[in-house]
Every structure is written in structure tokens, then in C-alpha cells.
Structure 1
Amino acid sequence: MYIRQFDPWKSELCTCPPKYSLNPYTGCVHGCLYCYASSYIKNFFHLREKPKLIESLKREIKKIPKNSLISLCNTSDPYPPVEFNKKITRKCLEIFKDNDMKVLIITKSDIVLRDIDLLKEMPSCVTITITTFKHYKKLEPYAPAPIQRFKALEELGKKGIPIGIRLDPIIPMLNEEEIEAILKAAKDSGVKHVIASTFKPRWDSWQRISQAFPDIAGKIQKLYFKDGAKISNSWYLAKPLRKDLILKVKQTCAALSLTFSSCREGFPELNNSPSCDGSHLIPDKSFSQEQAAILF
């Protein structure tokens, strides 16, 4: 089965609504140093097409209840550079539209703009990950630049597509000083909702961060591996420090009139939105596109 129920390792910290997950591609070419998926997917930074994906998807979708929420994607990006010509994600969206599904898109790519025509015809929203302005060339070496992502958000919003950002991950002493600047840029781009997460290293992502930012890694190593805690296969900051970072995002969001939620941090009481993943932005399918554009 290519469509699976979303269940991130049965984590007790997960507060996501019931939904399905689909990754149209295996692996990702963005090369983000903080990526956690590389720890459990072999050759993750080598992108592969899934065999007979569209053929299988047409069968699998018949087993999914109508109006179900499908997340694209929770592991790989649905819009790698090859998607512009391959159009595999677009074919998936066409199947979802024809079968009355709701879609939550999570991406770092402005290629999503190509599919505005489809997204306008179905219950959908787009959340784009923004991590840093200063360090993106080292931290996310092959992903589109942040300015491209913000331009994509602005264009999506103008076309009536509900939009949000994922400020993810927040790495102590690396990009935490950029929180306010990123959120102000999000506000200026028409964003209404922010999802925030802290860096939760695994063995390989920590090695990559340490090699790229040795001074910072030396300073925060103790915060994770002595003062922090291992939950499942990831290392978390100690709860007080983690909460301070999340509160900083929430307070800045409040000052900018943005709604806020955090993802797998353990502080659901801080969220002030109906969903933690931004799926509440998806308008009811009974609304017209004109009504949705007014609301969002």
C-alpha cells in the first residue's frame, strides 16, 4: 500500500488529526542536514520513483473513505526538481480530486505553483517549510532559496489557496535568532498559520550538523545528549528549554496576529488552532472558491 494511515512511530507526543500519508517519491534531493528520514530510509538523498505508483493509487483510493485527509508528504518532498516534467505528484492530485479527498501539502518547493489550477478545485492547503535566511546554503543545500518559497506562498495566497509555514526545525544558537524575521516575512506573504518544531537529532543528522557547524554543535551537544532526553530514536532538548523556544514562536505569532501550533513537542496546551498540522486551513468543500478566498 502506498497510501498509509499517518502514525509517526506511535508517538505519544503526536497530536495530528486522523489522516493518511502519501510520498509520491522515495528519497529527497534537497540534502537538508537536519533530515530525520535519512536515518531509516536507505540512500535517502538519492531520489527514486515508486514502481507502478499511479496504477496502484487508483486502486487504493477506492478503499479510502470520501473526504479523508491526505498529507503530501511527511517524509520526502512532493515537489523535487524532476516533478516539473514527471508530473507524478500532479497525477496523484488529480486522483484525489476525482475521489473527493482533502489534501495537505508540505513542501519546500515553488514548483507547487504549477498545480494551483488543481488545488483551487479541491479542498486543500499548502504549508511551506522555512528554516533560515542566513544558513540555508549550508543547511538546505539543494532546496529552493527562502525568497523563492515566500514568493510561492504569496502567489498561492493571492489565488485563494490557504497557506501556512512550518518553522522547522528550530536549532538552538543556529537559527533561533531568526524567528522574528521569518515570522514577519510570513505575515507579509499572507500566511495565517505557523507550525513550529525544534531540532530532534538522530545519529546521522547530528553528524551532518556537527561537520557543517562545529562551533555551534560543540555548544549545544550538552543540551541534547546530557541535559536532554531520547524519545523513540530522536534526541530532544530538555523540556524547559524546548518550551522556551516554542513560547518564543507563539508570542511572536500573537504579536503578528498569526495562529500557532507546535509539532510533537509535548505542549498541546500552547496551540491556539483547531489542528497542529495546519489542516484546519482547508475550507469546507461546501464553500465556494470565492468564499474560501475571502476567509483565507
Structure 2
Amino acid sequence: MFYNEAMSHHTYAMRAIGRGSSSNDVSRFDRLSRTEEDDGWDAGEPLAPLRTEVSLEVPRRIITYNKSPDLPFDRSINAYRGCEHGCVYCFARPSHAYLGLSPGLDFETRLVARPDASQVLQRELAAKRYRVAPIAMGTNTDPYQPIEKDHGITRACLQVLSDTGHPVAIVTKGTLIERDIDILSDMAQRGLARVGISVTTLDAKLSRLMEPRVPAPKRRIEIIRRLAQAGIPVRVMASPMIPALTDPELEAILTAGRDAGARTASWIMLRLPREVSPLVQEWLAQHYPDRAGRIMARLREMHGGADYDARWGQRMRGSGPYAEMVAQRFNVAVKRLGLKTAGSPMRCDLFRPPVLPGAQMSLF
């Protein structure tokens, strides 16, 4: 193989079996692109599938703050960069460009773990200027993606939050969260924890195509059941809803979540920021060419003719007749099912800053 300045989608597609994206275009910050071209020397030899690579990072800070009025939290923790789940629609893919990596296949195969995250979290919570408020986990990449089994960073951070009486809200698709039911159930009893489980579709075949390394839909419903049985407040998250593909399942998803024990529900329309749009359009052309045009037309109707509108109040659900129709369907369904759209506030009065090694302990 040799390299030139254009990407070979065919080459990557052959190596991307079991991945969400089938291409690896360079990030928006790179001036040059590269490709693999067949020079004939290895003709007939199968191309090796892409393997997951994990590098380590020592973060200076682990809590990220935001001022978005669209979000119900102002701070979050992400133990990993990139996500092996490989959801083709993931709005976080463009963040990989800041690492000099592609939001395509790099995002799901070249991951970054932050093993010192729990120690850094302790330092930040111990700072005199810190003021407690619920911390969100899973806002950018899934805290319970497969590599958590080996690294255990999410559990370590969760233990710090439990020990300090700090409230946490988690969003995940991963079954590994069941490993941490011991910590989460104890926190839930103290009003310190709640979990959102994202269910995009109940169709196992569709799920495997667009989120290839995520637990099957039935398994995610079972996660809701097991968490609820442990006394942990659970939200069923019907997101993202994809027009003419998954949004017909909205009511069925909410019903399945409620029947499994979810107390609250939410929904978000498909978002296509930056590099996500071409990735999703490529995926649609490959798997659903008969409705790709209709899906994109609906999305553009909701965003003023553009693939995406990043303005606050617009980016999560869009606007116009189609967006309003989906919102109405959601409202009718949650009322009929007895679901709520907001849970009880979590407690912040139990927080006690951690005592760092070498620090003088409080006498009171």
C-alpha cells in the first residue's frame, strides 16, 4: 500500500466490518488528507479488520462546565474520548477532530482513556471554590462502553462521588452499568443518583446497523428493569429520533421503557453537527437508499433548509410542523403512560469535600 491525498472509501469500508462509520475522512482542522491505494503487491490477500486502540491521557481537569440553556446540568465528567459503541449518528464525533483524529472510524477505533480521572476529580471536589451541583456522566461519550471493563475509570469516579455525597446523573447504553448497581442503589437511596438509558429503536437489525457495538434493544430494556428493581430512578430516552426511520417507534419505545420500570422519559431529534452529516448521509445511502432523500428533507425542514442548526433552543428538536408533530406525540404518550418528563431534584446538602492525602482533617 502507498498513500496519496484522497480518501479511499472502498478500502475503509472493507476493513470497517462491525463499525458504524465506513470512512475515515480527516478532521476539519487538517489541510491534507490521505488514502490507502492498492499497488497490486498484496492482491488477493484479505485486509485486516480495524482493531480498537486505546491510548492513555493524564488530564489536568476532569470536570467540564457549560452554560447551555438546552441542558439540565452545568457540569459533566467524561472518562473516555471516543466511543467503541460506534453509533453512526453520535453528535460527539466532531470532538475527535480536536485530537487530530477523524470523527469517522478513528472516533470508534482510536480511543483515549483517562486512568487518573478519579484522583483529579477528588482534587477538584476538594477545592475551596467548588460549589456542589449534579454532575452528568455520559454526555459526550458512553461511560460504560466496552473498554470500561478493563479500565474501571467510571466506577472509580462513581465511588468518589458516593464517598463525598455528590449527586450524579448518568446516560448510557452499556450493560456494564449493572456492575455498579451496588454503588448506584446506595446513592439512589440517599437521593444522589439517577440514570438515563438511551433506546433508539426496538428493531434489533436496524440497531446493529447504526450502533453496531451497542447492546441489543431488548437488552437495554432489561437494563432499565434491573436498575429500577434496585431502586434507581431510570429515564427512558427515545433518542435520537430519525424521521421516517425510527420516529414511528416513539410510542413503542416509551411503552417498553415504562413497562420495564422507567419513571421519566425524554426525546431528542437526530442532530447532524459538522462531520456527522456526511457520515450519516453516507450510511443512509449504503443501508437505506430508498428513504435517504426523505429523511434528509425532513431534517432540513426542521433546520431552515440546513442539515443542522446549532442555535440554543433549536438544535435538540428543530422547529416546524414535523418537529411539532413528534413533540405532540411524545406529550400524548407520556401522559397516557403515566410517565413524567422531570424527576425529583437530587440532594446537594449531603456533599462533604474529600480530604486529600496530607491535608488536615476537619474536627467537625
Q: Match for residue 143 of structure 1?
A: 214
Q: Match for residue 310 of structure 2?
A: 232
Q: Match for residue 266 of structure 1?
A: none
Aligned length in residues: 264
The answer to whether the 8 Å contact 1:66/1:100 transfers is no
Match of 2:113 among 46, 49, 55: 49
SS at match of 2:186: coil
Instruction: Tell me the distance in 2 between the aligned counterparts of 1:189 and 1:235.
Output: 26
Pairing 1:177–2:248 present: yes
Instruction: Tell me the distance in 2 between the aligned counterparts of 1:32 and 1:131.
Output: 10
The answer to whether the 8 Å contact 2:200/2:241 transfers is yes
For residues 238-278 of structure 1, the C-alpha deviation after alignment (integer angstroms, 9 at most, x for no partner) is: 43321211111121111111113xxxxxxxxxxxx3xxxx5
Q: Match for residue 109 of structure 1?
A: 174
Pairing 1:192–2:273 present: no
Q: Match for residue 2 of structure 1?
A: 62
Deviation of 1:67 (Å): 4.7
TM-score by length of 2: 0.67
Deviation of 1:99 (Å): 1.6
Instruction: Tell me the distance in 1 between the aligned counterparts of 2:90 and 2:291.
Output: 18
For residues 138-164 of structure 1, the C-alpha deviation after alignment (integer angstroms, 9 at most, x for no partner) is: 111111111111111101111111111
Q: Match for residue 209 of structure 1?
A: 280
SS at match of 1:90: helix
Deviation of 1:236 (Å): 6.4
Q: Match for residue 289 of structure 1?
A: none
Match of 1:68 among 120, 133, 157: 133
Of all paired residues, the percent bearing the same amino acid is: 28
Q: Which runs of 5+ in 1 are unaligned?
A: 261-272, 287-296
TM-score by length of 1: 0.81
Deviation of 1:57 (Å): 1.8
Runs of 4 or more consecutive aligned structure 1 residues displaced over 4 Å after TM superposition = 64-67, 233-237, 281-286
For residues 39-94 of structure 1, the C-alpha deviation after alignment (integer angstroms, 9 at most, x for no partner) is: 23234223211263233222112137465201002100000112123211000011
Q: Match for residue 265 of structure 1?
A: none
User: Which of the two has greater helix per residue?
Assistant: 1
Higher relative contact order (CA 8 A, sep 6+): 1
Q: Match for residue 264 of structure 1?
A: none
Moved more, 137-146 or 46-55: 46-55
User: 1:1-296, aligned counterparts within 5 Å?
Assistant: 1-7=61-67, 10=68, 14-16=70-72, 18-42=73-97, 43-45=106-108, 46-50=110-114, 52-63=116-127, 65=130, 67-122=132-187, 123-134=192-203, 135-213=206-284, 214-225=289-300, 228-229=303-304, 230-232=308-310, 237-260=318-341, 273=342, 280=344, 282=346
